Amino acid sequence: MIHCLNWIEVSIHTTSTELAEILLAELSESGYDSFLETPYGIDAYIKEELYDETVLFELKKKYSVIFPFSYTVKIIPQKNWNEEWEKNFEPVVVANRCIVRPPFFTPMETFPYDIVIQPKMSFGTGHHATTQMMAEFLIENPPAKQRVLDIGTGTGILAILAEKLGANHVDAVDNDPICFENCNENCTLNACNLVQTYLGDVRTAPISKTGYDVLLANITKNVLLDEFDNYYALMNHGATLYISGFYETDQEDLKCAAIKSGFVQLSKKNKNDWAAMAFKKI
């Protein structure tokens, strides 16, 4: 059993979408690994042992003259997380075919794909636009009898959905021990037999070094830019890459980087200023 540590929530208040994008990029390089878009800006999350007030002070000093903003800091005890999400977690319906629900919510036969998620600090309840768009890609293009790799799996929603859509093998990878444990628990809740979970990242996890037909990466812009070459090496020719975790304004940068690595763009989605893109390995 992994002993879960506290997390720090930094709520950044700004009316500037440009600043929100800048701060997301800056904070992702300083140990922050989860972000939520909010009506007032963004919420950023970091493990308590990695938190450094100096980082926020320097960012405010660097940008506040041009983009005024404020922030508040709050400790989130891990032990209280389940209680909080149970109070607020409502089921999510994706593409009118898949429902993502907590264990205490009654199953609905209306939807052919039923996913039960009990999230901890992996922030993957299916409510975020990026998760929804990635799930839509899978539902629109079922990976039947295909090998799937889910990088940054979090709670495991996409890996679980891939199995339910007929994949014959799914590898799910995350570098956060809490996410790794939570993904395993959710796979058990959904009676998944084909999902193999790994602690690590695309470079360090002991996954297959090639042979994937579908690769899913719902991470952040900077990580994606750094890993396109790795994704390409892991995929079969003709395989599909789905990415999200970035804003609409980041699409051109990611498209150029993906093409440079050898991919061709197939399609894209946009929702609430967030984006998702599909590519093919040629």
Please state, in angstroms and rounded to a whole number, the distance separating the CA atoms of residues 129 and 194: 26
Q: What per-residue confidence (pLDDT) applies to 173? A: 96
Report the pLDDT value the prediction gives residue 18, as an integer from 0 to 100.
Answer: 80
At the top level of CATH, which class does the domain 7-76 belong to?
alpha beta
Residue 5 pLDDT level (bands cut at 50, 70, 90): low
Q: Binning pLDDT at 50, 70 and 90, where does residue 124 land?
A: low
pLDDT 10s digits, 43-83 = 888 888 899 999 999 999 999 888 889 999 998 776 555 56
Q: What is the pLDDT of residue 4?
A: 46
Question: In this predicted model, what pLDDT tens digit does every residue of 196-230 receive, in sequence order?
Answer: 999 999 999 999 989 999 999 998 888 999 999 99
52, 142, 185, 216, 230 from 149: Cα distances, Å = 33, 14, 18, 6, 12
The 3-state secondary structure of 100-157 reads EECCCCCCCCCCCEEEECCCCCCCCCCCCHHHHHHHHHHHHCCCCCCEEEEECCCCCH
Listed by start position, the domains of the chain span: 7-76, 83-281
- Confidence band for 3, pLDDT divided at 50, 70 and 90: very low
CA distances from 117 to 78, 160, 242 (A): 17, 10, 22
**Average pLDDT of the residues of the chain:** 88
**CATH code for the structural domain at 83-281:** 3.40.50.150
**7-76 and 83-281: same fold?**
no
Would you say residue 121 has pLDDT above 60?
Answer: no
